[in-house]
Amino acid sequence: MARVPLFCYAGGCCNAPALLGSLATLNPTAWFLAPGEARGRSIPLSAATEIAEPVKLEPVKTYTGRPRVVIVGGGFGGLTAARSLKGVPVEVTLIDRRNHHLFQPLLYQVATASLSPADIAQPIREILRKQKNAKVVLGEVTRVEPEAKQVVLANGEAVPYDYLVLAAGARHSYFGKDEWETDAPGMKSLDDALALRSKILLAFEQAELAETEEERRALLTFVIIGGGPTGVELAGAISEIAHHSVAREFRNFNPATAKVILLEALPRILPMFPEKLSESAVKQLTEMGVTVRTGGMVTLIEPGVVHLGEDQIRAKTIIWAAGVAASPLGKTVGVPTDRAGRVPVTSTLQLEAHPEIFVIGDQASFTKSDGKPVPGVAPVATQEGHHAGVNIGLAVAGQPLLPFEYKDRGSMATIGRNRAIAQVGKYTFSGFPAWLAWNVVHVVNLNSFRNRLFVGLRWIWDYVNYKRGARLIE
């Protein structure tokens, strides 16, 4: 079919059939959830149609008659697993070291002063309050003891299980250069995002007081390492702060002179997208004043300096968005993990050696039937969480388990105001339609009605006013 350009925006073009087709398939709720699943509702077990390879998993009978399911992690995967066990005759204990579920895809908006922490987080206890077979424990799991069938908390307490779901996610990886973390912090938690927010806003305040031009230049240079979605989002947002949010507020310098540099070691940014969308993203970022440098490896990070081989960039704000490694908890289950610390699982999301242990989300290494690994994204964790819950229900009922199939509904990355890229099936689009779709998908997938309402209203307000509502330095 010939592609007829209909809309041409700053970042790229899209055509009418593509756009209509894309939006028609764009079911924002489905973006993060598995088919048949809705918030707090589980798939009936009779939905089982396909049988996986035989799994040796006998139904467990405890003295209460209800098997104990322990879930480690209340992120996308763990929380969905817990919800999908609603109504199943098991006792669910969800353990998390934080009291809240965090919507990580919008963390960068906290770091760049658009949203406040409570807009993207909700107490896990509150989310599960109506689920009678679930209880929540605030605690850090330090290890799994598969032979004893228990997890051990930081306070030494052991929590026994009949089925275990490991969903402890991932953290930053500095590829063996952990000493870089002090000078180039990453962003994984609300604390990280708030620290970054202060760092970014403080740089502008200090630039106002800078005594030399050289000092001011370093304060107004922001380097983001890693050209994945998070790096791109941060670069775009910091550029918008400089050009719009704090414009005309300083007397000794023009904030629009700030330099935002995005570094990527690979030949192109957003390598998980088709090449033409990566090119579109570079174009959109460049139009916003971001310098994109690809194909160069960071060789050293020192206080205020990033080294790229011989080249040096002086910057007071350096942000790491380059790599993740799975939670170290995976190393305690006694099976070899992959290079990123992920635990290999069977087609039914179990451990081969311990079929009563399910591993999901960023902690798991799952290979699709086409031989490709699933990506470390929220929809994978959510779908796997749901599937693990369904499989535990099947095991409890003495039925064979089902193999997991990831339903890829597309990907999108936002860049800034009216700018984004998206891929839905074979359709790609960028600029305003992608940006609008990104906003709808993200607001709809927030956990509570309060957050959906507040974030939606705040985005509309900020869009109209070119402002950021959470510009607080702590």
Ligand X SMILES: Cc1cc2nc3c(=O)[nH]c(=O)nc-3n(C[C@H](O)[C@H](O)[C@H](O)COP(=O)(O)OP(=O)(O)OC[C@H]3O[C@@H](n4cnc5c(N)ncnc54)[C@H](O)[C@@H]3O)c2cc1C
Q: Catalytic site residues? A: 233
The answer to the question of residue 162 lying near ligand X (CB under 6 A) is no
Burial class (CB within 10 angstroms; exposed 0-12, middle 13-18, buried 19+) of 191: exposed
- Least separation in angstroms between residue 408's CB and ligand X is 11
The answer to the question of residue 75 lying near ligand X (CB under 6 A) is yes
Binds ligand X by CB under 6 A, chosen from 85, 203, 270, 378: 378
| Structure tokens, 472 | 């607080």
| Structure tokens, 314 | 């002086």
* 93-132 footprint of ligand X as x/- string (CB under 6 A): --xxxx-----xx-xx------------------------
Are the CB atoms for 416 and 239 separated by under 8 Å?
yes
Q: Which stretch binds ligand X (CB under 6 A): 9-17, 56-64, 167-175, 449-457?
A: 167-175
* Bridging pattern class, strands 259-264 and 290-294: parallel
What is the full DSSP assignment across 293-316? EES----EEETTEEEETTEEEE-S
- Least separation in angstroms between residue 97's CB and ligand X is 4
For residue 427, give every residue at least 6 positions away whose Cβ sits within 8 Å of its Cβ, in sequence order, or none.
18, 19, 21, 22
The answer to the question of residue 441 lying near ligand X (CB under 6 A) is no
What is d(CA 82, CA 128) in angstroms, rounded to the nearest whole number?
8
The answer to the question of residue 76 lying near ligand X (CB under 6 A) is yes
Q: Which residues of 410-441 are buried (b: 16+ CB within 10 A; e: fewer)?
A: bbbbbbbbbbbbbbbeebbbbbbbbbebbbeb
Angle between helices 16-25 and 432-445 (to 10 degrees): 0
Sequence letter at residue 264: E
The answer to the question of residue 238 lying near ligand X (CB under 6 A) is no
Site for ligand X in 188-207 (CB under 6 A): 188
The answer to the question of residue 445 lying near ligand X (CB under 6 A) is no
The answer to the question of residue 66 lying near ligand X (CB under 6 A) is no
The answer to the question of residue 290 lying near ligand X (CB under 6 A) is no
What is d(CA 459, CA 261) in angstroms, rounded to the nearest whole number?
25
Site for ligand X in 136-155 (CB under 6 A): 140-141
Q: Which stretch binds ligand X (CB under 6 A): 73-81, 125-133, 444-452, 455-463?
A: 73-81
Binds ligand X by CB under 6 A, chosen from 362, 402, 458, 462: 362
Is the Cα torsion angle 442, 445, 448, 449 positive or negative in sign? positive
Nearer CB in complex with ligand X: 409/417: 409
The answer to the question of residue 330 lying near ligand X (CB under 6 A) is no
Nearer CB in complex with ligand X: 57/187: 187
* Chain residue at closest Cβ approach to ligand X: 75
Give how many residues touch ligand X by CB under 6 A.
34
Nearer CB in complex with ligand X: 197/217: 197
Q: What is the contact surface with ligand X in residues (CB under 6 A)?
A: 72-78, 95-98, 104-105, 107-108, 140-141, 167-169, 187-188, 229-230, 327, 329, 361-363, 376-379, 381
